[in-house]
């Protein structure tokens, strides 16, 4: 298997890093070699944030080569143009316009809707995703985040 590249981008405070933390854990527990990198920039002040996850049989570098992301999920519409150069030709672009975020009961769970949209691209059991979401999020938020994940997945 070749290496698959995923980039998640957005603004500080949107949960970009939480998405890739969970994503990396799920892929690792699914048996892949996984590498992750992140760029914080001015994230504490709402600036650009991006994080990359690479997985496959053997991954040597955490950095996704320019124009080689198989999946690019951008949590803020204003960050699409800034990050679209990372997407490979024929890759999957996920933007806020692709998700029914207005249906979320808690807008802070939008990052889990994006995780659901990313999960939809890969053939891994929903239970694996939920297990690692629950391990990374407070129990009181499990229901709202599960709902958001399923919204992004299209369930």
Give tens-digit pLDDT for 90-113. Answer: 999 999 999 999 999 999 999 999
In this prediction the pTM is 0.93
Q: Is residue 44 scored above 60 in pLDDT?
A: no
CATH code of 4-153, in short, is 3.40.920.10
14 close to 49: Cβ distance less than 8 angstroms: yes
37 close to 51: Cβ distance less than 8 angstroms: yes
How is residue 48 written in tokens? 């650009």
Domain spans of the chain? Answer: 4-153
pLDDT of the residue at 38: 83
What are residue 72's DSSP bridge partners?
A: 7, 93
The CA-CA-CA angle for residues 8, 11, 17, to 5°, reads: 45
Q: What is the mean pLDDT of residues 41-55?
A: 79
Q: Rounded CA gap, 114 and 134, in Å?
A: 16
Other CB atoms within 10 A of residue 3 CB: 19
Burial environment of residue 150 by CB neighbours within 10 A (0 to 12, 13 to 18, 19 or more): middle
Q: Rounded CA gap, 107 and 76, in Å?
A: 13
Q: How sure is the predictor about 39, in pLDDT bands with cuts at 50, 70 and 90?
A: confident
49 close to 16: Cβ distance less than 8 angstroms: yes
Lowest mean pLDDT among 3-17, 33-47, 115-129: 33-47
Q: Is residue 14 scored above 60 in pLDDT?
A: yes
């Amino acid at each position: 298997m070749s290496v698959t590249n995923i980039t998640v981008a957005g603004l500080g405070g949107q949960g970009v890093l939480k998405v890739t933390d969970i994503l990396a854990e799920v892929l690792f527990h699914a048996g892949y070699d996984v590498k992750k990198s992140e760029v914080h920039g001015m994230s504490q002040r709402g600036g650009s944030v991006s994080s990359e996850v690479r997985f496959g049989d053997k991954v040597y570098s955490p950095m996704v080569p320019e124009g080689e992301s198989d999946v690019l999920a951008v949590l803020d519409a204003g960050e699409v143009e800034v990050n679209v150069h990372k997407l490979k030709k024929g890759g999957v672009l996920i933007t806020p316009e692709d998700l029914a975020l207005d249906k979320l009961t808690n807008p802070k769970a939008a990052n889990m809707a994006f995780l659901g949209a990313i999960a939809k691209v890969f053939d891994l059991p929903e239970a694996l995703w939920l297990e690692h979401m629950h391990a990374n999020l407070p129990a009181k938020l499990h229901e709202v985040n599960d709902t958001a994940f399923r919204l992004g997945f299209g369930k």
